[in-house]
Structure 1
Amino acid sequence: MRPHLDEVADDMIQEIQTRVREYDRPGDGSYSGTLRLAVERVLHFFVERVADPGHDPAPVTDFFRAIGRGEAGEGRSLDAMQTAMRVGGMVAWRRMTEGAEALQVPPRTLGAVGEVLMQFQDELAHAAAEGFSQAKAAVAGEMQRRRKRLLDLLFADPPAAQEAIADLAAAAHWPVPRTVAAVALGRHHADTRQPAFPPDVLADLTRRTPSLIIPDPDGPGRAKLVDRALSGTLAVVGPTVPLMEAARSIQWARKTLCLVQRGVIEADSGVIRSVEHMSTLILFQDEGLITSLADLRLAPLAHLRASQQDRLAETLLAWLQSGRNANEVAMRLHVHPQTVRYRLRQLEELFGDQLLDPDLRFDLEIVLRARALLADNAGERIMPPARAAVGDSGEVVTLRRG
């Protein structure tokens, strides 16, 4: 075979350029030179393999691994290269069978050479695919790093410069939207599937609070798309904001997630949206402040037992919410109206003229709402029991804290 390699190389190149359009570049001398170099290397190595089955394949497999990386770097698939390899293999087999007939090579020998040819093609295809995958993984990894960095810039407070965000967005192939919504996710267990997000969603699941940025969240069909992507995941979507205010959206999403994890906000309705719980977020924006207000406004209840505090606080909140109508309070609490009237007389004795002041009633409703949310969902109290309480018969009972 050695004396005919140059001739076979010419045949292969002509056949490849005829059958594979991507390799037919008449005006590109450097590309034609690269194609000839590849074909000649393959032929020479193949002949050495036939002569010595133990011949080291590393030089030619490394060469094809580099070809695979190059195809990935140019944004092409391996289809053209694989087609070219099959065409080259057919030309080689055709020339070998012609030569074997002229030289009267035994069929067994020809079959062994053909087996080496198929094995050789498989090795080269595998090497090219490996290089292609390595390059793709490197590009994907770099793109993911750029997107994580972009997420960091958007969440920075104060925000990064708009020019820096635009430059990094371009490098990360992320079209800059007009509005965004940030998403805070609950932690995943190792055996839980990772959600699959649309390609335009920025995601970093390695953060302390795994986070996303959703572009154009209020666009047609976007809400359903987000709900599907986050199905089965504890996820809180922050408010829709201009791009440069993404930090504000993630702050509210994280605050909402914290209240969900504490049980203050119920999490049984799929994806949770901060805008649907703004009043609760306002109530718990400063818990120290709400506790201080509760200590002040609910002081008349402080000397009662915890069970009495709960009954009277529940009644007072229902009374404030129902327009101070005793019958409606009874329906809300599922108790007899006479029981409600008895409790209301107790409240009038405890609070006196405070219940006539609209501003004080407003304060009371704020702290009682906060108290009810904590008690009902999180099992917490914003007003600890005092040291002394009045028993059902009126006597003073000493209580222990803790």
Structure 2
Amino acid sequence: MPIEVGIWNVSNGVKRVNFTAIASEKKLEEILEEDISIISDNLLLLGRQVPTAFGKFIDLLAIDQDGNIVIMELKKQRTPRDVVAQIIDYASWIQSLSYDEIVQIYEDSYKASLEDAFIAKFETGLPEEINKAHQMIIVSAELDYETERIIQYLSSNFGVPVNAVFFRYFKEGHEEFISRSWLIDPNVVEEKTSISKRDNKKEKWNQQDFVVNFDDDQYRSWEDAVKYGFVSAGNGKWYSRTLDSLFVGARIFCMIPKSGYVAVGKVTSKSVPLKDAEVHINGMTKKLVDCDLQARNMKHDLDDLERCEYVVTVEWEKTVSREKAFWTTGLRANQNSAYKLRHQYTIEKVSEFFGL
């Protein structure tokens, strides 16, 4: 089971705020429709109560930046075990939908262009191919043990991309709060969205290795990154948002575009705006923004959370200068600031270069 979440009001003494039943599944739908980032920042809602071809309705349907479809079934109380069969039934219908049919679902729901909404959300156009894979998420206040066992069994033994997210609804006076926690790490389930025959040909991710593209330019300096232990990206959410995928303990292979791989290290903190980033120098903790940075323009747009620089601190294992960067034919590169490194050949060659 997920970790239990509790909330205490400490504004005047210490008082626990007890959770209560939400009024209806409709209210929960309304909350998630208003802000689907409660589930994930990497989702755009396609529709609510989406009708299927067999007379049923999908509570919430969404799409992620890669064009994968996410099916959500909501239960305001304890889930019956047949909810798993229900959501898999929805998935069996979803997998056959064409590009145009997915676009039509959004347009029927919101009377607007999916392409425009996708660009506004992700700052990039719709992929040429969408609905190659999908995820299933059961959203509930409580999961019975039978349902939990079924989800764990399907996910662990058969790679079925199904998960459960638990919410708690709190109310104190006129204030309302909602919290959520996952049954299975979403990063693990994300890997199981590759369920089509075509995706089975893709190399599997080892669940620890990433590539980070570090632009050594007027906004950031590789010498700063080595000295203070960090990677960063900014000047728009399209560039900085992929840093959110980096988790503490992840291993990163750092590359300077058009030069090559310059470092390997381990992530020590999640992505935060530059003004909040802290680094450890000579046994002391210091704000990175207060350090003597060679990249003076790194401090651009400090109070603009859309455009400011975002920082992930790193404990470097091996580094080289830009001039000694490693590159050879066959290594993988990608335009995203951070992405999962699946390519075993790249892992082996870069590890060999750094003597790992």
Fold-level match, TM-score > 0.5?
A: no
Structure of higher CA gyration radius? 1
Q: Which has the higher contact order (CA 8 A, sep 6+)?
A: 2
Category of TM-score, reference length = shorter chain: under 0.3
After TM superposition, the score normalised by the length of structure 1 is 0.19
- Give the TM-score, by structure 2 length: 0.21
